[in-house]
């Protein structure tokens, strides 16, 4: 008789393509059998009791313990960040090894491994951030790192310490095409932001809500269009990260209509937060700092366009863009002092634990997307795009046993989000007070039960680093452009 480490019985399994009732047998961290009435013994059995079981979430965009240049510090390191992810049903995270100008990419990777080692409680891979796109970086370092399993990188069109000019963007895209990697682009026009910021500050308009005025939709729309044009020129796929509203959605729609391989990511903040959350009066000027992130949350009229993009297939993935800074203390949102102008407040909000519950509750249970699309957006697509599929992002024999058993609450039994119940180290959540109809009851990471009945149960360091495969063949693209 077969022996399993774990059997999950009576699971209502949902993947991108299927939904069926079965038992799941796990051996050595992998799914080794899926069957109705699975025979055999297990060291441990869990009864899902007919509850929904989805693949563990893959969060393709989060920031833990990333070095900063303004004296601020991310609230989460790899332990608290991955603990929070696990308790919210995520079993794989892809944070960023960020190159510092004047330093090599390899230095960033080595440093980031040191930060993760002995701390992560779920599996993790690294994206790179390329901030110094020298010839040596694009022609030697990137290819060597892609070979070693760092097959995706983010580039910025804004932020003074990160941004690349168009020529440098092209060089990075050309390297991605040649070596089969995926480029993620933060699309906002840096010069427009600098000019608008100067105008606002000169006029004394410094409160957090003017963050939105300094980065209006046109700034994102223009950069999104330019990123698409540059990718078309080089003939390579890109992924536009954290798309915030209608006008950027329209650019992506236009590009897809031209048959261009443009992928897009959005995040819960663009579905659930709005410009109003940046503050509507100046009584408590720092209050709106909680929701400062870039691109900023837009006015509420934009939210239906993001929901439609999730339902229609326009978006490929939903990530958290978890970038947590504390409201209290000297190294978070207040790093530049009390009442600092909006441009000196660190950008980013926490959300790695709330990503899946928010989307299950307000997306699936509210009837805006179906459960298959939920799985695709939150697990399968990020895994495919970043070279982790089929090890991650699905429920199949041979895949890692990364699973979520869901509790769904009836009307009047909703769970109210409070920061105290979350497992990050940030001192607030922007979703405080929201009532949700679903929450992960159990999270299983490579066969280990890491979250159950409200208890986190994993050891620091039990998560493993995952080298990623190339998401595409090298030199894939139009054969007429082989000369690139």
Minimum CB distance to ligand URP, residue 18 (Å): 34
- Compute the least distance from the CB of residue 315 to ligand URP, in Å: 16
Show the CA angle centred on residue 169, arms to residues 468 and 223, nearest 5°. 105
- Asked if 321 is part of the footprint of ligand URP (rule: CB under 6 A), the reply reads yes
Cα–Cα dist 119/113, whole Å: 10
The nearer residue to Zn ion, 23 or 321, going by C-beta atoms, is: 321
CB proximity list for 17: less than 8 A, separation 6 or greater: 372
Residue 415 backbone phi and psi in degrees, to 5: -95, 130
- Taking the C-alpha atoms of residue 350 and residue 268, their distance in angstroms, rounded to an integer, is 11
Query: Can you read off the two tokens belonging to residue 268?
Result: 């819960």
Q: In what order do the strands lie in the sheet with 182-186?
A: 96-98, 127-129, 152-156, 182-186, 238-240, 262-266, 317-318
Question: Residue 41 forms beta bridges with which residues?
Answer: 3
- Alpha carbon of residue 39 to chain centroid: 38
- Looking at 8, 22, 25, 63, which residue binds ligand URP (CB under 6 A)? 63
Residue with tokens 């937060």: 273
Residues 321-340 that bind Zn ion (CB under 5 A): 321
Residues 123-182 that bind ligand URP (CB under 6 A): none
**Least Å from the CB of residue 6 to Zn ion:** 34
Q: Which of 100, 132, 25, 146 is nearest to 403 (CA)?
A: 25
Residue 293's binding partner among ligand URP, Zn ion, none (Cβ under 5 to 8 angstroms by kind) is ligand URP
347 contributes a contact to ligand URP by CB under 6 A: yes
The item of ligand URP, Zn ion, none sharing an interface with residue 197, based on CB under 5 to 8 Å by kind, is: none
C-alpha to C-alpha distances, 262 to 142, 157, 295, 346, 378, nearest whole angstrom = 22, 17, 19, 29, 18
Window contacting Zn ion (CB under 5 A); options: 316-324, 367-375, 399-407, 428-436: 316-324
Report if residue 323 touches ligand URP, rule: CB under 6 A. yes
* Residue 214 lies near ligand URP (rule: CB under 6 A): no
Q: Which residue is nearest to Zn ion (CB)?
A: 186
The token pair at 80 is 């608290």
The residue from 83, 178, 186, 448 that contacts ligand URP (CB under 6 A) is 186
**C-alpha distances in angstroms, 69 versus 44, 100, 153, 159, 346?**
47, 9, 20, 11, 10
Residue 8 or 358: the one with the smaller Cβ distance to ligand URP is 358
The answer for residues whose C-beta is within 8 angstroms of residue 110's C-beta and 6 or more apart is none
CA nearest neighbour of 344 among 214, 461, 431: 214
- Quick one: what does residue 263 bind among Zn ion, ligand URP, none, with the CB cut-off 5 to 8 Å set by partner type? none
Task: Supply the minimum distance, in Å, between the C-beta of residue 187 and ligand URP.
Answer: 10
- The answer to the question of residue 53 lying near ligand URP (CB under 6 A) is no
Contact 338, 247 (CB under 8 A): no
294 binds ligand URP (CB under 6 A): yes
Please list every residue from 235 through 254 that binds ligand URP, using CB under 6 A: 242
Return d(Cα 432, Cα 430) in angstroms, integer: 6
Residue from 293, 335, 369, 434 in contact with ligand URP (CB under 6 A): 293
Distance CA 302, CA 317 (A): 18
- How far apart are CB 299 and ligand URP at their closest, in Å? 18
Question: Which residue stretch of 52-60, 178-186, 356-364, 449-457 sits at the interface with Zn ion (rule: CB under 5 A)?
Answer: 178-186
Q: Which does 127 bind (CB under 5 to 8 A by kind): ligand URP, Zn ion, none?
A: none
Distance CA 48, CA 404 (A): 10
Residue 290 found at the interface with ligand URP (CB under 6 A): no
Angle ∠(91,93,42) on CA atoms, nearest 5 = 20
Cα–Cα distance measured from residue 307 to residue 349, given in angstroms and rounded to the nearest whole number: 20
- Residue 321 Cβ vs ligand URP, minimum distance, rounded to whole Å: 5
Query: Considering the complex, what minimum distance in angstroms separates the CB of residue 294 from ligand URP?
Result: 4
Closer of 123 and 220 to ligand URP (Cβ): 220
CB of 60 to ligand URP, least distance (A): 12
DSSP code of 411?
T
Q: Are strands 435-436 and 415-416 parallel, antiparallel or unpaired?
A: antiparallel
Q: Which is nearer to ligand URP, 325 or 439 (CB)?
A: 325
Smallest distance from the beta carbon of 401 to Zn ion, in angstroms? Answer: 29
- Residue 72 binds ligand URP, judged by CB under 6 A: no
* Interacting positions 179-198 with Zn ion (CB under 5 A): 186
Binds 347: which of ligand URP, Zn ion, none (CB < 5-8 Å by kind): ligand URP
Phi/psi at 84 (5° precision): -60, -45
Name the minimum Å distance from CB 442 to ligand URP: 30
Binder among 348, 387, 393, 447 for ligand URP (CB under 6 A): 348
Q: Does 97 participate in binding ligand URP (rule CB under 6 A)?
A: no
Residues in the chain, how many? 484
Name the one residue in this structure whose structure tokens are 């961290």: 29
Which residues of this protein are in contact with ligand URP, per CB under 6 A? 63, 186, 242, 293-294, 321, 323, 347-348
């Amino acid at each position: 008789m077969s022996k399993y480490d774990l059997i999950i019985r009576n699971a209502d399994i949902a993947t991108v393509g299927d939904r069926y009732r079965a038992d799941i047998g796990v051996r050595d961290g992998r799914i080794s059998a899926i069957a109705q009435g699975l025979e055999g013994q297990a060291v441990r059995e869990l009864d899902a009791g007919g509850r929904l079981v989805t693949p563990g979430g893959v969060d393709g965009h989060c920031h833990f313990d990333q070095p900063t240049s303004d004296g601020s510090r991310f609230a989460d390191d790899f332990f608290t960040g991955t603990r929070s992810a696990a308790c919210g049903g995520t079993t794989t995270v892809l944070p960023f090894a960020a190159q510092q100008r004047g330093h090599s990419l390899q230095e960033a990777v080595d440093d980031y491994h040191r930060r993760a080692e002995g701390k992560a409680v779920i599996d993790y891979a690294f994206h790179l951030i390329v901030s110094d796109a020298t010839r040596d970086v694009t022609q030697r370092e990137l290819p060597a790192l892609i070979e070693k399993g760092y097959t995706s990188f983010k580039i910025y069109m804004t932020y003074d310490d990160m941004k690349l000019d168009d020529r440098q963007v092209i060089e990075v895209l050309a390297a991605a095409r040649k070596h089969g990697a995926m480029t993620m682009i933060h699309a906002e026009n840096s010069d427009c932001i600098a000019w608008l910021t100067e105008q606002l500050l000169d006029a004394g308009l410094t409160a957090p809500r003017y963050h939105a005025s300094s980065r209006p939709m046109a700034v994102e729309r223009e950069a999104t269009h330019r990123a698409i044009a540059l990718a078309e020129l080089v003939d390579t796929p890109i992924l536009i990260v954290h798309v915030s509203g209608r006008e950027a959605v329209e650019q992506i729609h236009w590009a897809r209509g031209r048959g261009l391989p443009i992928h897009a990511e959005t995040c819960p903040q663009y579905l659930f937060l709005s410009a109003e959350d940046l503050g509507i009066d100046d009584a408590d000027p720092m209050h709106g700092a909680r929701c400062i992130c870039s691109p900023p949350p837009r006015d509420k009229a934009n939210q239906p366009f993001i929901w439609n993009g999730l339902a229609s297939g326009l978006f490929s993935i939903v990530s958290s863009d978890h970038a947590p800074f504390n409201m209290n203390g000297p190294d978070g949102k207040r790093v530049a002092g009390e009442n600092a102008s909006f441009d000196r407040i660190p950008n980013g909000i926490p959300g790695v634990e709330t990503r899946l519950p928010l989307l299950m509750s307000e997306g699936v249970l509210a009837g805006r997307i179906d459960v298959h699309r939920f799985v695709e957006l939150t697990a399968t697509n990020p895994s495919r795009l970043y070279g982790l599929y089929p090890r991650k992002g699905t429920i199949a024999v041979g895949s890692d046993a990364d699973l979520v058993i869901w509790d769904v609450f009836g009307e009047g039994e909703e769970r109210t989000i409070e920061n105290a119940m979350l497992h990050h180290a940030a001192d607030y959540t922007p979703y405080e007070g929201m009532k949700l109809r679903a929450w992960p009851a159990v999270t299983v990471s490579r066969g280990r039960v890491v979250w159950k009945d409200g208890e986190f149960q994993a050891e620091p360091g039990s998560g493993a680093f995952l080298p990623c495969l190339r998401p595409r063949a090298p030199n894939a693209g139009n054969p007429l452009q082989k000369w690139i």
